[in-house]
Structure 1
Amino acid sequence: MTTNSDRPAVTELRLSAFKAHRGASFTFGPLTLLAGVSGTGKSSVLEALAALGRLAGGEELAEAFEESGTVRGGVAACVPHGAQPDAEGRRGFRVGCTVNGPVGPVRLDVAVQTEPELRIVGERLTGAGETLLTTALRDPGRRQVQAAWHTAGLVPVTRAPLPDDRLATAMLPLRVAGRTDGQRLVLAAAEQVVVALRGVFPVDPRPHRMRGPVAVGDGMLRGGCDNLSAVLRRTEGECRIRHAALVRAARAVCAPPVEGLTVIPVSGTGTRAGGEAVIAAVDRGPLGLVPVDRLGDGELRFLALALVLLTGPGVLEVDTPEGEVPDADQVLTVLADGLDHGLDRAQTRELLALAGMAADRGHIRLLGTVHDAAVADGIAGLSVVGFERAPLVPAQAAERVAAGMR
């Protein structure tokens, strides 16, 4: 049987030099809130973790940090505020994380150069008392880094060139044979990190996109929750216990009466989805069914976030291919920037209670941002990290960022 400690999970994020953060580290429990007013760097923490998740899924640097919209301002905004180019015109940033799992704590640290060319110039993977992988940029004229990974066989280390625009840790399963104990340790550590990072799920419900009909077959909930109606149809039929919990949560904090949550079939060529489609509805008992296009933004955001927390693996559209990692072995880290946005205090606290239930099952971890830390008062098992506005200070020339993992 897989225990909670066996499931890989991100437990720390390090922002050595990223946006307004320098030498910062954040420890995450199953439920963690970052609290503070706007402009204090809360969102940057979530952005860095989300981008690492995309890199672990095999995306190129430009896609993970620039084209996906994961990081506000793209790669240029990742450079520490005030950092000046070094003598060779280089600037960049450094991020890292720790993943706990069967191997124990495994650390991943990445140095990214943004100027003059976007590339990973250094990467280090460490665990079980060993340096398992390092990469370094040896020839700036080539689009590759020199990688060295732990072998502990006839030769202690294996060296090979790897592309400089992808995470080397994510490529190790295709490069390491696994014949020696050292190679098997490298593979286990890399898998632990990749599985945890690919389980990162940024959620940003967009009420205006949740009000229209959705194709019946669109049953994997996306981060924007625009396909909420199709997912509700699925949970109503397949996940009765969790669906009932969602109804209870809605009844507790949404405008009464709430007798249930269901879907209404929608036909006709005028629907956005086309073909067979549905729209979610609240069963108001004697008042009848009220489609979600008539609900307020706050109620829609609450329903979407509650659905994310209650469903977990198998229903959320995370970057873990079906069958690659069994649901029982997964921990999904939900990133909810502005968790309390548009919600009243009772709705936010109900979401935190649902998150606690999900965390107890071991499949969901929550990392969210809120403005007021008091919303978490009295909620057991919840860690709160306070953020305050700090004056920006000039950074050192490139802060050794672009030089790699020195």
Structure 2
Amino acid sequence: MEASLPAARPVAPPAARPVRPVLTELRLSAFKSHRGAVFPLAPVTLFTGASGSGKSSALQGYEALALLAAGAPLVHAFPDAAGCVPDRARADAQGRRGFRIGCTVDGPAGPLRLDLAVQAEPELRVAGERLTDGDGRTLLATALRDPGRRTVQAEWHTAGAVPVTRAPLPDDRLGTALLPLRVAGKTAGQRRVLAAAEQVVVALRSVFACDPQPHRMRSPVAIGDGRLRRGCDNLAEVLHHTRADCRRRHARLTAAADAGCAGPVRGVRVEELADGTVRAVLHRDDGHPAGHGDTPLGRLGEGELRYLALALVLLTGPRVLAVDRAAEVPDAMQTLTVLADGFDRGLDRRQARELTQLAARVCSEGHIRLVGAVGEAGARAGRERDGVRVVDLSA
């Protein structure tokens, strides 16, 4: 079976600890088309390569870890678990097959390594999990001891009079995400484990997966809670809520629209229609009478709509995005990661360059990171920017 965990090894610490927890490495040890893959992550990381090289599956692995850290069961994180098993992976004597993924999270608690083995067949369940600190110390380990029980046997480091605590955990949840509910935090060892688990959970949960759908962005929308959805179909509603929140941010969005859309853009406005819905428009020319120089977003091309939506995501505060962040942790201690499959899909070279430049500038400020999958235009634009790591999976 493919789901045995690799041996723990120390994680080399960087020169300085990040203030906010961030993923510095994604590992796809045995996942779909990936075997033994280790991907260091920068403020902007762009996966490129031929069709079928594994760009989308890299983002899917990241998003699955994020869902598990938020408390989702395995079936929600891996709806097609059998499809995650590497090709030609052989079943063991019990007919079991699985896959392995993991990550490294750096932050105030130091570099932490999370490795997860999942059994996909004959039934979906956790086969093993390990959380390791920068010195190679195992803080949490779980193993599937009895296939007849719906639990895994877990043990976590506590130090003190009882160096290790053992207890069963559900076999369809990430054990690291459950530790804050199980560890009292009374001893130094327990507090170390809690700090490690919380750092991993905060870094993983702060993810917004984004895939703008232009055909759903053209029509006026009803006013709702003002949180941008994955497909960005409610972009006009979000602008209705946020256009007056921060003039500097809105000015940056206008500048991005002017750089990436055909014709001059003097502003991005929202119109309230008679039926109570709203639509977004680009204000083109101050020399025209009111409204005559405007272009409704419904008239824009697909590339322009995707460009505008992704620019808004990069420039919008996390409270505006539909993200399940750790509410008990101050925003100043969290970094949002945007996952964008097809980051440059439908964009021309100029738009890909402008959007990549915007991503590099925004992500250099430290509050947001980007992991995207791109084609040739996006890869070329990424190689021209500092702070952008281009991972060519065809190499």
**In the alignment, what sits opposite 1:167?**
174
Return the offset for 1:292: 1.1
2:381 pairs with 1:375? yes
Provide the rounded CA distance (Å) in 1 between the counterparts of 2:17 and 2:176: 24
Inter-partner Cα distance in structure 1 for 2:19 and 2:64: 24
Residues 299-328 of structure 1 deviation map (CA, whole Å, 9 limit, x = unaligned): 11000000011113222111115x422221
Which runs of structure 2 are paired with 1:232-381 in the superposition (5 Å)?
232-268=239-275, 276-285=276-285, 286=288, 287-321=292-326, 323-372=327-376, 373-381=379-387
Which deviations, in whole Å up to 9, do the C-alpha atoms of 1:191-232 show, x marking residues without a partner?
110001001211100011112222323311122111111111
1:111-150 equivalent positions in 2, closer than 5 A = 111-129=117-135, 130-150=137-157
**Partners of 1:309 and 1:355 within 8 A in 2:** yes
Kept after mapping to 2: 8 A contact 1:95/1:109: yes
Offset of residue 353 of structure 1: 1.3
SS of residue in 2 equivalent to 1:141: coil
2:215 is matched with which residue: 193, 208, 217?
208
Separation (CA, whole Å) in 1 of partners of 2:383 and 2:203: 29
In structure 2, stretches of 5+ residues that fail to align are 1-15
Contact kept in structure 1, 2:211 and 2:232, CA below 8 Å = yes
SS of the residue corresponding to residue 246 of structure 1 reads helix
Identity level (%)? 63
TM-score after normalising by structure 1: 0.89
Does the CA-based 8 Å contact 1:53-1:200 persist in structure 2? yes
Q: Which amino acid aligns with 1:82?
A: R
Q: Does 1:388 align with 2:394?
A: yes
Task: Tell me the secondary structure at the aligned position of residue 172 of structure 1.
Answer: helix
- The equivalences for 1:182-193 within 5 A come to 182-193=189-200
How far, CA to CA, are the matches of 2:105 and 2:60 in structure 1?
A: 17
Partner of 2:204: 197
Which residue identity lines up with residue 18 of structure 2 in the other structure?
Answer: S
Per-residue Cα deviation, 1:341-394 (whole angstroms, up to 9, x for no partner): 1001111111111111211221111111112122224212211111118xxxxx
Shift of 1:4: 8.4
**8 Å Cα contact 2:356-2:381 kept in structure 1:** no
Cα gap change, 1:336 to 1:184, in 2 (>3 Å): same
SS in 2 for 1:304: helix
Distance 1:185 1:215 in 2: 47
Give the Cα–Cα distance (whole angstroms) in 1 for the partners of residues 127 and 50 of structure 2.
34
Cα distance in 2 for partners of 1:293, 1:315 equals: 22
Please, which of 108, 111, 119 is the counterpart of residue 105 of structure 1? Answer: 111
- Deviations along 1:5-44, one digit per CA (max 9) or x if unpaired, are 1101111011110001111110001011112121111111
In 2, Cα distance between equivalents of 1:34 and 1:63: 24
Kindly state the Cα deviation for residue 96 of structure 1 after the two structures are TM-superposed: 0.3
Q: Tell me what 1:158 maps to.
A: 165
Match of 1:40 in 2: 53
Gaps of 5+ in 1: 67-73, 269-275, 390-406
Change (3 A) 1:107 1:4: closer
Where relative contact order (Cα < 8 A, 6+ residues apart) is larger, the structure is 1
1:116 is displaced (CA, Å) by: 1.0
| Partner SS state of residue 165, structure 2 | strand
Distance change (3 Å), C-alpha of 1:341 and 1:4: farther
> Would you say how many aligned residue pairs link Structure 1 and Structure 2?
372
Segment of structure 1 superposing worse, 295-304 or 375-384: 375-384
- Partner Cα distance (2:273, 2:132) in 1: 53
Task: Indicate if the aligned counterparts of 2:118 and 2:128 stay in contact, CA closer than 8 A.
Answer: yes
Question: 1 CA distance for matches of 2:307 and 2:330?
Answer: 28
CA distance in 2, matches of 1:292, 1:324: 37
Superposed CA RMSD in Å reads: 1.4
Q: Secondary structure, in 3 states, of the residue corresponding to 2:78?
A: helix
| Aligned equivalent of 2:95 | 89
Among 58, 64, 75, the residue aligned to 2:77 = 64
Q: TM-score, normalised by structure 2?
A: 0.91
Distance in 1 (CA, whole Å) between partners of 2:217 and 2:188 is: 50
- Letter of the structure 2 residue corresponding to residue 18 of structure 1: F
Partner residue of 1:271? none
- Residue 126 of structure 1, CA deviation: 0.7
Report what 2:4 is aligned to. Answer: none
- The CA distance in 2 between the partners of 1:257 and 1:22, in whole Å, is 48
8 Å CA contact 1:313–1:330 kept in 2: the answer is: no
SS at match of 2:128: strand
> Which whole-Å CA distance do the structure 1 matches of 2:296 and 2:123 have between them?
50
Contact 1:103 1:128 in 2 (8 A): no
Moved more, 326-335 or 213-222: 213-222
1:178 and 2:190 equivalent? Answer: no
